Chain A
Amino acid sequence: MVANPLTKNIDMSRPPLDIAAYEANDGYQSVHAIAKGLSPEDVLELVKGSGLKGRGGAGFPTGLKWSFVPRGDNSPKQKYLVVNADEMEPGTFKDRLLMEGDPHLMLEGMIIAAYTIQASKAYIFLRGEYTVSDQALRKAIKEAYEKGYIGKNILGTGFDLDIIMHTSAGRYICGEETALLNALEGKRANPRAKPPFPQVSGLWGKPTIVNNVETICNLPGILTYGNDWYHGLTKGNDHGTKLFGVSGKVKTPGCWELPLGLPIRELLEGYAGGMQDGLELKGFLPGGGSTDFMLPEHLDITLDYDEIAKVGSRLATGTMIVLDDKTCPVGMVGNLMKFFAHESCGFCTPCRDGLPWVDQIFRDFENGEGSEKDLQILHDHVTYLGPGRTFCALAPGATAPLGSGLKYFKEDFEKHITQKRCSYKH
């Protein structure tokens, strides 16, 4: 049986499979299954039963999210599916691989998701810098229209679907789903108040599901090979496979599709080859820039959503950023704070004013001008920018590496104050 459903067609040394080659490897079987009589309710139950959780970062159960979309004759006729392909989380490079490597897989997943919620229009919200993904997806969309997998009355089901490419023009905040919807509507990408949730009132006020690229790419396998197969993939508590990446000073950085539930050690020391010669592992962010640091003592924890949550961090995007013992932790957190300060949309005060303040303090530390009082201000921001204090999750995300960095690398912060310089610089 297939063990790597997300990447089975991917070989970056050649162009992605065209539609004929994709079909020959079980591609678009799920659409044929739908045409043979799977109802939207059937698909919803299958996806709920799969246990698939969103791969964009939050890890929310996909089937449950879909079930919030109003159904029946009294529901709004127009519904939308939006694929969040605005990959911009620092240190995250997984959706690029899926879109450049196997664009038809994402389209097939989109057809499944759109059919389930009965959305006749689906937008791909792609970050503008992903020019290769843009070309690959446009080519695949054209092929899928020609074969009748998208368009009017798909395979005689009576279901219509148009897939539309929207390339964006930057800004990390567009990854926040309500900000993304505002951007698609041609507005400034400030997040919206929730409720109402997009599932009920999203794009142009219509019921809308926003799913991450990797989440969508899980769907064809679930429909084609079934839930028993899907449940057999994992080595842990959460179901399916996931793309895991490692960047930083390891021997062989990269991105691999692996079962959930493997020990982190296997990823970092096995697949990524361990640290470069002469370097020691000091810590790592397990799932992108807005997750809490973890330490070498956590290496035997498994790559599961709940297991990583137990030590106060998040699996999130599953792309790890490795900190070595010759790189300054204060500098690394400072780099992230500069990023978050720059990418704040400016709508709410704690984020707009708080993050640049934090950023400035890190610049002061870098220049040997940090003080004990500054350290206290940083701690205060971990509280005041935390969950529930801001309009969206951007600033709380920034407090993850900030708070955990202050906790785990306290000595390094103290050293910057007492030595009035960064001791990592020679």
Chain B
Amino acid sequence: MSQQVIASTANKARKLSVQEIAEIEHEMTLYPDKRAVGLEALKIVQKHQGWVSDESLLGIAKYLDIPAADLEGVATFFNLVYRQKVGKNVILFCDSVSCWIMGCESIKGHIKEQLAIDYGETTQDGDFTLIPVPCLGDCDRAPVMMVGPDLHRNLTPEKIDSIIADYKNK
């Protein structure tokens, strides 16, 4: 890659906000080098922006002075770092073994019907994104799912309806 292209890529970097920088700086006190803060920085930016755009990723790489390709390698490795726009509420749907035994397939079918989205898709109004997640570690109350930071247990179609309504009204 020529120097020119590298320079133009760096130019696309978004300037991080004061708040983002403050939080990243705090994380930097907890680790012996900057690279270790990469994932934390991605999560901080995601918290503020909703997702991690190319411009944000380049901005973090520039701020931490680490290769953008390395950071992209990390960003695409972790399933909770969103490199595409997501809805206001991300549904992390557990379809691992205990939830499967307890009938999560039909629950997923109901969500699909109600929201008209499948895995990886966002509703037209931008309220919900549906993503599968590995075992959420609450198997005695399966089927379970998370909406944003909240865990919802012992799911039934009726419960799904009220959960959707609750978050829509938030």
Contacts and interface: CB of A to CB of B under 8 A. Distances in A.
Nearest to B97: A90
A339 interface: yes
Central interface residue in B39, B66, B139, by most chain A CB within 10 Å: B139
Interface in A83-108: 87-93, 95-96
A226 B53 CA distance: 54
Contact of B77 (A96, A128, A189, A253): A189
A343 B80 CA distance: 13
A164 B98 CA distance: 32
B97 A336 contact: yes
A327 B36 contact: no
Contacts of B38: 186
B35 interface: yes
Contacts of B92: 129
A216 B32 CA distance: 25
Given A131-B149, A187-B35, A170 B137 contact: no
Nearest to A253: B140
B139 A167 contact: no
A187 B39 CA distance: 8
A249 interface: yes
A321 interface: yes
B101 A323 contact: yes
B36 A184 contact: yes
Interface string B81-106: 10000000000100111101110000
A38 B40 CA distance: 37
B116 interface: no
Nearest to B76: A188
B101 A248 contact: yes
Contacts of A131: 149-151
Contact of A89 (B35, B135, B141): B135
B140 A249 contact: no
Contacts of B30: 164
Contact of A129 (B39, B133, B139): B133
Contacts of A169: 39, 42-43, 78-81
A289 interface: yes
A191 B79 CA distance: 17
Interface in A328-365: 331-332, 335-336, 339, 342-343, 345
A247 interface: yes
B101 to A, nearest CB: 5
Interface residues of B, number: 43
A295 interface: no
B24 to A, nearest CB: 12
B73 interface: yes
A254 B141 CA distance: 8
B35 A185 contact: yes
Contacts of B140: 93, 245-247, 253-255
A132 interface: yes
Contacts of B70: 187
B98 A90 contact: yes
B74 A92 contact: no
Contacts of A187: 35, 70, 73-74
B83 to A, nearest CB: 12
A321 B140 CA distance: 10
B136 interface: yes
B10 interface: no
A336 B134 CA distance: 10
Contacts of B151: 131-132
Contacts of A336: 97
Interface in B94-142: 95-98, 100-102, 133-142
Interface string A150-187: 00000000000000101111111000000000011111
Contact of A327 (B39, B40, B101): B101
Contacts of A172: 134
B57 interface: no
B80 A248 contact: no
Interface of A: 87-93, 95-96, 127-132, 164, 166-172, 183-189, 204, 245-249, 253-255, 285, 289, 319, 321-324, 327, 331-332, 335-336, 339, 342-343, 345
Given A168-B78, A245-B139, A327-B101, 9 more contacts: A89-B135, A90-B98, A128-B43, A169-B78, A247-B98, A249-B101, A331-B100, A335-B97, A339-B96
Q: Which 6 A-B pairs have CB atoms at the shortest separation, nearest pair first?
A: A247-B139, A169-B78, A253-B140, A169-B80, A170-B79, A247-B98
28 contacts: A88-B137, A89-B135, A90-B134, A91-B98, A91-B139, A93-B137, A96-B137, A127-B137, A128-B80, A129-B92, A129-B136, A131-B150, A168-B39, A168-B78, A169-B42, A169-B81, A186-B38, A187-B35, A187-B73, A247-B98, A247-B142, A249-B101, A253-B141, A289-B97, A321-B139, A335-B95, A339-B96, A342-B134
